[in-house]
Structure 1
Amino acid sequence: MPYKLVALDVDGTLLNDDHVMTEQNMQTVMEAARQGIEIVLCTGRGPQNTIPFLEKMGLGGYVISHNGAATVEVETGNIVHQFAMDHMALTPFMEYCREKGVHFDINTAFGMYVDSVDALAGPIRYMYEKFLMLPSNLPAWEELEGPVVKFTAFGESHDLDEVFREWSQWTPVYNMLRSGEFFIDLMHEEASKGNALKQLAARRGYKPEEILAIGNYYNDITMLTFAGLGIAMDNSPVEVKAAANEITLSNNEDGVHAALMKYCLK
């Protein structure tokens, strides 16, 4: 099957553990694009710290950001689609985090907000610097530019395990998922990488069997199962590997390069 669209997760997939896109991965993705394959980055990141990876490769098109909550056109910055959350229902989650000392941020399509930027320090500040995104102070709800699309809690893995366990016992309001070892995301109940990819595929005129998707974590499962061929990285949890059709090398072994060479490039 000749694939017409390749959906790539970013952290843990396209990037290695040093958060670097290697030259080999970059050149192979660029070659796939030269051969007519549309490249779409699908990530938990926002557009601002995702689009530069495509620009570095000289590519345009679209990014599916915030784990599917907002799809953005690269060249124009236009929001093609977004799943707006009921931000008022976030109040108990915010109160829980403040009481328990769990850091959180609130995201619109292009904005990221925390209680106090001046209070950011240590691992929390390093996390934002590592992901190339410094937040702003959270204003009043009515002053936000655009709807809220994602709420993210950040902390040590064992602490978030407990948070996830407790929130799972609450009445479901949002789509809650682990988007990384140190993150829990809350989004609109219909927001996911798979749903966003489905909408973009319909917009672009692609059938699921014409799509190849590569990812490494729980937030990638919906896009791996939507695509005609879903490929999990070798560094994926066992549940992600089980949801995929194939497994490639790890993100530290240029697994994206290996997968594209095997399934896409002539």
Structure 2
Amino acid sequence: MNRFQMIALDVDGTLINDHHEMTAKTRESILEVAKQGAEIVLCTGRNPSSTIPLLEELGLVGTVITHNGAVTMESDTRKIIHQYVIADSELAPFKAYCREHNYHFDLNTANELYVEREDILTEEVLAMYGKFYIVPSVLPVDGSLTDQMVKLTAFGTKEQMDELEAEWSTWTHELTIIRSGDYFIDIMHSKASKGNALKHCAASREIESSSILAIGNYYNDITMLQFAGVGVAMDNSPVEVKAAADDITLSNNEDGVHMALVKYCL
């Protein structure tokens, strides 16, 4: 009997390789673990529409933790189980800074991604969103969506995001700012994190943290790796993420998830 009742998997840089593919080997090992009775929970910075297809690709239904823990949703019904909404007034200074310094940003509700103006959607920007199966919408002029926002994401080169992260780290505010990739910075509700969302999900199933295996590769995965009974970092993780984990597996281009599942579950 597998000691782990829940397997929490990050997506980009973990479940899928750098070609945005889930390998057959990884898929087979996940399905074998699921067959043994463990619940597979995808935990990602992506939105539901770019997460649920991966669960469907596995032939599974269940719960997905998206927007870095800001939205938890059922994959089959698309019912929102829980979400952390942020007030537009809290985001206002961050939006103003991005506009003033020409940083690209988008605003996210549970299911939709918005930009402020259509001319922002250059070919390069649309290609970036396309990798994640996202078609951006333009925010209504009347601001009718501002009370449903769960995340602001800034996007740019690694150097631009390094500069932006350094600047925002000096600000006083009540929000969570997390680096979710080399090219992305996310701003969310202060309580929104993968670890908190996983904790809620486990509690609803009456599953102890000791019965959870979590696998991830980036700073936004640290809370999840620390909450789980065993947290495994990918070999392609930054050193701080590896330090927060209990173990390190191979990289996302070497079937690291498969290797971790073989070691701990199969």
TM range, smaller chain: over 0.9
Please report how far the alpha carbon of residue 124 of structure 1 lies from its aligned counterpart in structure 2 after TM superposition.
1.9
Aligned residue in 2 for 1:40: 41
TM-score by length of 2: 0.97
Aligned pair count reads 265
> In the alignment, is residue 234 of structure 1 matched against residue 228 of structure 2?
no
Aligned residue in 2 for 1:14: 15
Please report how far the alpha carbon of residue 123 of structure 1 lies from its aligned counterpart in structure 2 after TM superposition.
3.1
Aligned residue in 2 for 1:261: 262
Letter in 1 for 2:133: L
Deviations 1:137-164 (A, max 9, x none): 0125652297111000000111111111
Letter in 2 for 1:45: R
> In the alignment, is residue 52 of structure 1 matched against residue 53 of structure 2?
yes
Deviations 1:29-54 (A, max 9, x none): 11111111100000000000100011
Could you say what secondary structure the match of 2:90 adopts?
helix
> In the alignment, is residue 123 of structure 1 matched against residue 107 of structure 2?
no
User: Does the 8 A contact of 2:104 with 2:155 survive in 1?
Assistant: yes
* Separation of aligned partners in 2, 1:117 and 1:244: 42
> In the alignment, is residue 193 of structure 1 matched against residue 194 of structure 2?
yes
* Separation of aligned partners in 2, 1:216 and 1:72: 22
* Separation of aligned partners in 2, 1:141 and 1:248: 49
Aligned residue in 2 for 1:220: 221
Could you say what secondary structure the match of 1:176 adopts?
strand
Say if 1:11 and 1:165 are closer, same or farther in 2 by CA, change over 3 A: same
The 5-angstrom pairing of residues 13-92 of structure 1 reads 13-92=14-93
Could you say what secondary structure the match of 1:250 adopts?
coil
* Separation of aligned partners in 2, 1:113 and 1:4: 36
Deviations 1:192-231 (A, max 9, x none): 0000000000001100000000000000000000000000
Please report how far the alpha carbon of residue 173 of structure 1 lies from its aligned counterpart in structure 2 after TM superposition.
2.5
Letter in 1 for 2:165: F
* Separation of aligned partners in 1, 2:130 and 2:154: 17
Superposition RMSD on alpha carbons, in Å?
1.3
Could you say what secondary structure the match of 1:131 adopts?
coil
* Separation of aligned partners in 2, 1:128 and 1:208: 34
Say if 1:33 and 1:145 are closer, same or farther in 2 by CA, change over 3 A: farther
TM-score by length of 1: 0.97
Could you say what secondary structure the match of 2:224 adopts?
helix
* Separation of aligned partners in 1, 2:11 and 2:25: 15
Could you say what secondary structure the match of 1:251 adopts?
coil
Letter in 2 for 1:27: E
Letter in 2 for 1:99: E
Structure 2 residue runs of 5 or longer lacking an equivalent are none
User: Does the 8 A contact of 2:87 with 2:146 survive in 1?
Assistant: no
Range 95-104 or range 191-200, more displaced: 95-104
Could you say what secondary structure the match of 1:202 adopts?
helix
User: Does the 8 A contact of 1:216 with 1:236 survive in 2?
Assistant: yes
Counting aligned pairs with the same residue, the percent is 57
The 5-angstrom pairing of residues 81-160 of structure 1 reads 81-140=82-141, 143-144=144-145, 147-160=148-161
* Separation of aligned partners in 2, 1:166 and 1:53: 35
Letter in 2 for 1:262: K
Could you say what secondary structure the match of 1:253 adopts?
coil
Structure 1 residue runs of 5 or longer lacking an equivalent are none
User: Does the 8 A contact of 1:117 with 1:135 survive in 2?
Assistant: no
User: Does the 8 A contact of 2:88 with 2:146 survive in 1?
Assistant: no
Could you say what secondary structure the match of 1:143 adopts?
coil
Say if 1:124 and 1:235 are closer, same or farther in 2 by CA, change over 3 A: same
